[in-house]
Amino acid sequence: MKYVNRRGDAYYVFQGVTKTGKPKYYVSRKAESAAGIQIDLLPDDFELFESPIDARVIIRKRVLSDIYDNELNFVQERANSMARNVRARVVSNGRCIVIYESARAEEFQSMASVVGGLTSRFVEALQSYNPMSPAFRFKLIRKKERVFEAQRFCFRGGIEDWISLHHEGTLDELCQYYLKHLGKESFYELM
């Protein structure tokens, strides 16, 4: 099995054996490994996971999620359309939809306009190596009604955690109200 992350790096999936004889699964950037054999399929309780922050790929126990695929896709589409100057990546984390943003997307756009010879493909390649940071999280608080609570990541020294924005609503309402702040100074004014 081969997985290519957003940076274009190829990862290969291997199965090895622990010291106690149990199977273990791991990824490597090399196509061959002396510690295990390459496999084509992971067991159902494991999954490949690409870190939204730095595109590193790992194998982890499958995370059960209360978030539907169509909800993830909806938020990703809204983030892409509402925050045009920012690259956004949306992932599910149990009961939450987490929106990550490209840390320096604006700098790449301005660099491309200053150095007129940079192609959009080159700028896109530069951005793919740009680390992402958490911005918003929509936490599912009422499963039956599909009501979410909006939170934003706080970057103040010593805190660095999610803070509630004391706003509940549907994904459509929360996206409409918050995603326009991605990559803007107004993000830090949200409380």
181 and 111 in a common domain: yes
Average pLDDT over residues 142-169: 91
Would you say residue 118 has pLDDT above 90? no
- The band of 38, judged by pLDDT with boundaries at 50, 70 and 90, is very high
Domain's final residue, options 36, 61, 86: 61
78 and 54 in a common domain: no
Evaluated on CA atoms 118, 119, 120, 124, the torsion sign reads negative
82 and 166 in a common domain: yes
SS3 1: coil
Would you say residue 109 has pLDDT above 80? no
* DSSP H helices in the chain: 69-82, 105-114, 120-128, 171-178
Number of domains in the chain: 2
Give the residue from 49, 92, 88 showing the smallest Cα distance to 69.
92
26 and 100 in a common domain: no
Domain's final residue, options 18, 39, 61: 61
- The band of 53, judged by pLDDT with boundaries at 50, 70 and 90, is confident
Does pTM top 0.95 for this prediction?
no
Task: Output 83 or 37, whichever has higher pLDDT.
Answer: 37
Evaluated on CA atoms 90, 91, 96, 99, the torsion sign reads negative
Would you say residue 108 has pLDDT above 70? no
Structural domain containing residue 137? 69-189
Identity of residue 85: N
146 and 57 in a common domain: no
98 and 6 in a common domain: no
86 and 47 in a common domain: no
Task: Output 110 or 137, whichever has higher pLDDT.
Answer: 137
